[in-house]
Amino acid sequence: MRNLLLFAAASLFLFSACDDDDNDMMVQDTLNLNITGLEDLGDDYAYEGWLIVNGKAISAGIFNVNGSGALSQTSFAINSADLNNASAYVLTIEPSPDNDPGPSSVHILAGDFSGSKATLSVGHSSALGSDFSSSTGSYILATPTDGADSNEKSGVWWLDPSAGPGAGLSLPTLPSGWKYEGWAVIDGVPVTTGKFTSVTGADDSAPFSGNQAGPPFPGEDFLMNAPAGVTFPTDLAGKTVVISVEPEPDNSAAPFLLKPLVGMVPADADDHTLYDMSNNSQATNPTGNVTR
């Protein structure tokens, strides 16, 4: 009888200990998001937050953004121990649905916790690593791929003729998961000039150029295969040229929200003349904070 009582007491102790552990695991607190400047990713992708706890990424909720930039969810119930021990918050772009339980390489915002709050930025080392505020750009209008001196204002190239030619762009190196892309906005339609990671090499496509080789810099001649709503050749005088930062993979044919450089081509622009772009980073960088 005494042995049975000892066994029952031991069993009760084990049950109570396990029950306490389970209760600890179930204790939750709230993580609140206050983020502006994000855009709708469509049906194939979503945003996912991550807490960095002892060097490991723990999911802190998935949300979408509508066409007005409003988050579908701004508060998430998180395990208290994870939330209290988190050193940083990272926001990524993930496929939807997503079969990978870990974060993708497309990190857009991040911030370190200081007390109960983490201020988020694209410049954090766990995001893009730069806020693009020191980026500069210059371009010329020219159509080197047609071999003629006609239609010279129907192409844009980010190069400096006086430098040999040399690079017309000064941009930070992007981390994995991101690429730059050039654009010309023609009659209200953004038309790509190609994606690139190096400012001293050709971009990765030339769908509209002629049959001759272009210079080894980002750019495009708009001579053939015009997209709907646009006629080639065109005249880029008075139009707008843009350098954007795009997620990779990229599920949209439109420019992503990050547009660090914008150039308004003068209405009286001459071909083969160097024109400067404006730094637009502070107007397009998303910002925000999370609190616990």
**pLDDT tens, residue by residue, 165-187:** 999 999 999 999 999 999 999 99
Burial class of residue 144, CB neighbours in 10 A (0-12, 13-18, 19+): buried
Tens of pLDDT, residue by residue over 245-285, are 999 999 999 999 999 999 999 999 999 999 999 999 999 99
- In the predicted structure, residue 23 carries a pLDDT above the cut 60: no
Beta bridge partners of 278: 262
Tens of pLDDT, residue by residue over 77-87, are 999 999 999 99
- In the predicted structure, residue 10 carries a pLDDT above the cut 50: no
- Predicted structure pTM score: 0.90
- Report how far residue 49's alpha carbon sits from residue 94's, in angstroms, rounded to the nearest whole number: 10
Q: Of 276, 152, 174, 164, whose CA–CA distance to 215 is shortest?
A: 164
pLDDT band at 25 (very low <50, low <70, confident <90, very high): low
Residues 6+ apart with CB under 8 A from 37: 69, 257, 284, 285, 286, 287, 288
In the prediction, which pLDDT does 5 show?
34
Cα 222 to its chain centre, rounded Å, is 26
* Mean pLDDT, residues 141-153 taken together: 94
